[in-house]
Structure 1
């Protein structure tokens, strides 16, 4: 055992572990395993705490949940918010119900007015409720699209915004001062929330703008979104819906998919088969907590899933097309993250609106209009299929309202005799062909990730795809974009390439986000331009894999 992880530390944790199963599990661990579990604690990443279900401070377990909730309560009370209302929800993962109940019980014992959701709910419902009910905070027990063996703890403060710095650091510091888990008081709590759920469904349905028919194929990937998605679609007047039956009910083991992440290969195979069989107009996959939405479309070569960027371009353009150009549009703001495509900036300019690039994650995207006084955020997205299409209702990514808007877009295009591919082609001709992809390098821990970034800072490439490289180190930024990331750009007026390299905020990986833009001239075949862009993208992928 290392000096920082002493036998006394471990034995005290085990002695005060309120869960006999994790206490016994820790007692049977080797010294090496105990070093890994006690060498560091879970910290707030891009979207809260996430980790494997296991004993010790570096995992998700009852003791960690109790101590974290104690820390959240401490921070709220220090801010003069003791006794205020807090919403507590959960997804359908292993232990989520137990963790949500424990969270609510700790807050109730501290005198907070707690609304514990009566059933498993999508994460955006908790974000909506905090905003709608003017609650002080919201906590959702979820690990979103992580593997079945993980769980997590996501925190919202006022206005339904995810916590960011320095609040996350204040909570972590408070957790370090927390008493032993079995000594934290808990009190009985009642469940509720049905009326608020109905309000959310009505609001999600209301993002629809047309009344045209559309046939939908849908899967919630064994998550909690199924019934809520059906309710929202029907309320929006969309009734021709076909679901992947064996993926519709919540199942924390996600038995029919290799990964519950709609972006991963194989995750949407059954959905696309169903869409083809039913001759659907659009295919929708929600991730397990329904905060992300993946879109599939038919093409001349068969069905395919859109990238998060492609969906972002389409929904951003569709949203801005509803706003008349002029003084109003000049105050309208759309946002995308630093690792997402730059095409949304061009789309916004064409509509006379503003665009802001933020750090990765919706705790930053949802606050985009804070950076531009007088602006109104109407849409935000990140490449990892997260879309905020109704910021005045949900200041976070919301797969269900995004689903409704995507179906509405397809219906509108269909009524014009156009397809989604037609819309993508029109954007490419107007703003240039953009291709995007990402390369992930697994690392052992945060220290190894930092080493990779340090080496790249010390010796960045001097050329990419034959162009001289310009390096932007966001650690040196003095504005809202300051973070541990490097942006490498190169190119000219006709062709540009971009690489953003950063440590993942949720997984042990260093990720390289790649974008190529190639101008498309009026006399040029679109596929020729796309072919040139893909060749350059392949070059960048090969470079990124060397890091």
Structure 2
């Protein structure tokens, strides 16, 4: 009997199998069985994330319990039970059920928990961990993934997602559990008292902190903002913060209900054009200055700007660069720029933001993809005081203004972009004008990302083959342009010509990055949360048109390279 058949049979016939899963298992064909059981679901750059359904390679009550029991063993080993765990969840199918089941299982292990009464943003969960002095946190969410997904994120006592050295300790505990189906969450009535339901008290403290990020709170708020939470957790907090700050917010009503099927949006992912369809309609009807779209767990924010009568959707790199320009210019103008200021971004983030920061005397430190690495840097300098935090962001639409949260925070970003929009409008400019001025000062860049979707066991194998082939036969030129430097974050090497040196300061990760002779770069990495191989392009051109044409050229060159 194959491992797939063995696992499938065990699940199908196990006495503790949750009853809703049996008919799904019985209806599986051979391909579905293989995909659900060929491996066990793993932690990636943002925890554990996958398709909902029965199976060892799926998100379900049993794999969630296995992860939680492993986490509980880690908590108790580190005497974290009394401090407790904060638990949050989004609008997805089974999120609330998973969250309260986690609380029950922790209670069974004599561990305190603080569970939100209803759905809340991921950044508020991060805030709650710190605010309540918890040992850690659990967030049930699949972020921006399609409706078929859910996920499980773990946080440390600083409100930061677990970095690899801590995650590996939890994973060891999880992997030591042989039978996920044998775990139940039946705690006693006395143990139930370890569960505290939280809500408005934490909300109020979070809102106060979000409102504290304003640099020009008295700015004339003569702007209209169309806002969509994409059926997710940003709805109440963003609207409440705007109300208190005095901004006019026009919500996309059809996308405000916490619908797990995302019925009124083609996609809940701000990286994709479909996320803006209804918002654009609202914006045109209301002649709005700004469109802001948050993903379901409210850690990412997409931006649309009215410019010369048309709406321009910015990339995460572009909106991040505009945020840096506004924040740094105002801190400098007001005499509030701290000593030794530092900004954080990732190895796949555009060069433009770094150039903007440098213009204001702000240094940049890069991390691997995953905001937990930025959170780790924040915690480090909080202790050493060597540098002072100014801003942190990723190309994937996530940023953090003030680090009372240790994750991407869309409500903060929404408030700061609204203020920047209002500030520049008083000067007769919109945010695209600001971006164009940055290109004039620092050079024109076009950044893009191409994701090659490769599902199932065959897909996972193909993704490994792509990275292995690129590593074995490293390109010396891409699209006719010379590769002058390459970085391998798995092998920890830098290659420049025939010289190979050590790449330091990063946890080993399956990432390749190629720097080209014309000042552009291309990076390749497997997604940590979806069955995709991602290609990142930061292409420098003499103009927008030139940068775009070069981007198309390099994308085709990479397509040809991986097709060989």
Given the two structures, how large is their TM-score scaled by the length of structure 2?
0.90
Q: How does 1:67-106 map to 2 (within 5 A)?
A: 67-106=66-105
* Residue in structure 2 matched with residue 355 of structure 1 by the alignment: 364
- Helix, strand or coil at the partner of 1:92: coil
2:203 is matched with which residue? 197
Per-residue CA deviations over 1:308-330 (Å, capped at 9, x if unaligned) read 00011011122222333999645
Residue of 213, 238, 241 corresponding to 2:249:
241
1: CA distance, partners of 2:487 / 2:316: 24
Query: 1:6 Cα deviation (Å)?
Result: 5.0
- Give CA deviations for 1:252-279 in whole Å, capped at 9, x if unaligned: 1111222111221222111012112211
TM-score (norm 1): 0.93
Cα deviation per residue 1:347-399 (whole Å; 9 max; x = unaligned)?
A: 121111110111001011222346775112221111111111111x1110011
Aligned to 2:474: 460
Alpha-carbon distance in structure 2 between the residues aligned to 1:518 and 1:197: 45
In the superposition, relative to structure 1, how do residues 13 and 334 fare at CA in structure 2: closer, same or farther (>3 Å)? Answer: farther
Q: Helix, strand or coil: the match of 1:273?
A: helix
Once the two structures are superposed, what CA deviation does each residue of 1:503-537 show, in whole Å capped at 9, x if it has no partner? 11111111110011235xxxxxxxxx111111211
Secondary structure (helix, strand or coil) at the match of 2:506 reads: coil
Q: Partner of 1:139: helix, strand, or coil?
A: strand
Structure 1 residue aligned with 2:375:
366
Give the stretch that moved more between structures: 256-265 or 465-474: 465-474
Runs of 5+ consecutive residues of structure 1 not aligned to the other structure:
520-528
Measured after TM superposition, the shift of residue 502 of structure 1 is: 0.8
By how many angstroms is 1:16 displaced? Answer: 4.5
Deviates more, 1:458-467 or 1:323-332: 323-332
Which residue in the other structure is 1:186 paired with? 186
Candidates 507, 512, 515, aligned match of 1:489: 515
Q: Contact 2:339 / 2:388 at 8 angstroms: preserved in 1?
A: no
Asked if structure 1 preserves the Cα contact closer than 8 Å seen for 2:522 and 2:535, the reply is yes
Q: Pairwise mapping of residues 528-539 of structure 1 onto structure 2 (< 5 A)?
A: 529-539=543-553
Q: Which of 411, 417, 424 is the aligned partner of 1:400?
A: 411
Residues 1:380 and 1:10: Cα distance change in structure 2 (over 3 Å): farther
**Deviates most, 28-37 or 321-330:** 321-330
- 1:419 maps onto 2:419 in alignment: no
Q: Is the 8 A contact 2:489 2:511 kept in 1?
A: yes
- The answer on whether the counterparts of 1:129 and 1:196 sit within 8 Å (CA) in structure 2 is yes
SS in 1 for 2:331: coil
Of 455-464 and 64-73, more deviation after overlay is shown by 455-464
- 1:37 shift after superposition: 1.8
Q: CA RMSD in A?
A: 2.0
> Do the aligned partners of 1:17 and 1:23 also contact (CA within 8 Å) in 2?
no
- 1:74 Cα deviation (Å)? 0.8
CA displacement 1:478-522 (0-9 Å, x = unmatched): 32253111111112xxx4111001111111111110011235xxx
Matching of residue 429 in structure 1 with residue 432 in structure 2:
no
Residue number in structure 2 paired with 1:524: none
Q: Which residue does 2:498 correspond to in 1?
A: none
In structure 2, relative to structure 1, the CA distance for the partners of 1:109 and 1:323 (3 Å cut) is same
Structure 2 counterpart of 1:448: 462
Match of 2:319 among 294, 311, 314: 311
Q: Match of 1:430, SS?
A: helix
Confirm or deny: 8 A CA contact 1:332 1:376 kept in the other structure.
Answer: yes
Q: Secondary structure of the equivalent of 1:207?
A: coil
Shift of the alpha carbon at 1:446? Answer: 3.0
Task: Give the counterpart of 1:479 among 489, 500, 505.
Answer: 505
Q: Name the SS of the counterpart of 1:40 in structure 2.
A: coil
SS at match of 1:449: helix
The superposition leaves residues 457-489 of structure 1 with CA deviations (integer Å, 9 ceiling, x where unpaired) of 222332235432132212232322531111111
Partner Cα separation in structure 1 for residue 224 and residue 488 of structure 2: 46
Q: Deviations over 1:49-71 (max 9, x none)?
A: 11111001211111111111111
In the alignment, the residues of structure 2 paired with residue 303 and residue 102 of structure 1 have an alpha-carbon distance, to the nearest angstrom, of: 44
Aligned mate of 1:216, from 220, 225, 233: 225
Instruction: Provide closer, same or farther for how the CA distance between residues 170 and 24 of structure 1 changes in structure 2, counting only shifts above 3 A.
Output: farther
Q: Secondary structure at the match of 1:334?
A: strand
Match of 1:146 in 2: 145
Distance change in 2, residues 1:356/1:463 (3 Å): same
The secondary structure found in structure 1 opposite 2:82 is coil
Structure 2: 5+ residue runs without aligned partners? 493-503
The alpha-carbon deviation at position 34 of structure 1 amounts to 2.9
8 A contact 1:387–1:399 mirrored in 2: yes
